[in-house]
Amino acid sequence: MPHIPEPASVPEVLALTVWQPWASAIAYGTKRIENRTWPTDHRGLVLIHAGRTLDPTAHDAPLARPFLRRPYPRGAIVAVARLENCHTDDGWCTLWSARGRWHWRLADVTPLARPLPWSGARGLWTPPAGLLAAPILADAMEAARD
């Protein structure tokens, strides 16, 4: 019987909409923990989408201040990251960790050369093929995979 090769395994890519200035802190700063009220089993590439909403508590957060002083993109993909872990609050694992939240650990964050305007969604969402085919995403996705 002939050997039938299995289809190439393509890592699933999901997207996450993050309020500003936190999306910029991930893309252009040192924020590598995204705090959520819910866990995820997803491990792999995540497009970081800067939502149109500004977090109303950001002005009270010292770590957000540098990102509030400059214009920041809204309604656009700003980076690609690899979601490498998700764990319950185990104390302050980083300065960016919030107590009582799930900590989503991001690695290999690669900002896009320029923001890619796109509508977001709630939760982890599946980016359509048209978005994933955008040439500006190719290099960032490759860098985040490595």
The residue ranges of every structural domain in the chain are 14-145
pLDDT at residue 7, rounded to an integer = 43
User: Which residues, other chains included, contact 141 with Cβ-Cβ below 8 Å and sequence gap of 6+?
Assistant: 13, 45, 80
Q: What is the topology classification, in CATH, of domain 14-145?
A: 2.30.130
Q: From CA 142, how far away is CA 146, in angstroms rounded?
A: 7
139 DSSP assignment: H
pLDDT in tens, 71-107: 889 999 999 999 999 999 877 678 888 889 999 999 9
User: Which residues, other chains included, contact 64 with Cβ-Cβ below 8 Å and sequence gap of 6+?
Assistant: 21, 22, 25, 55, 58
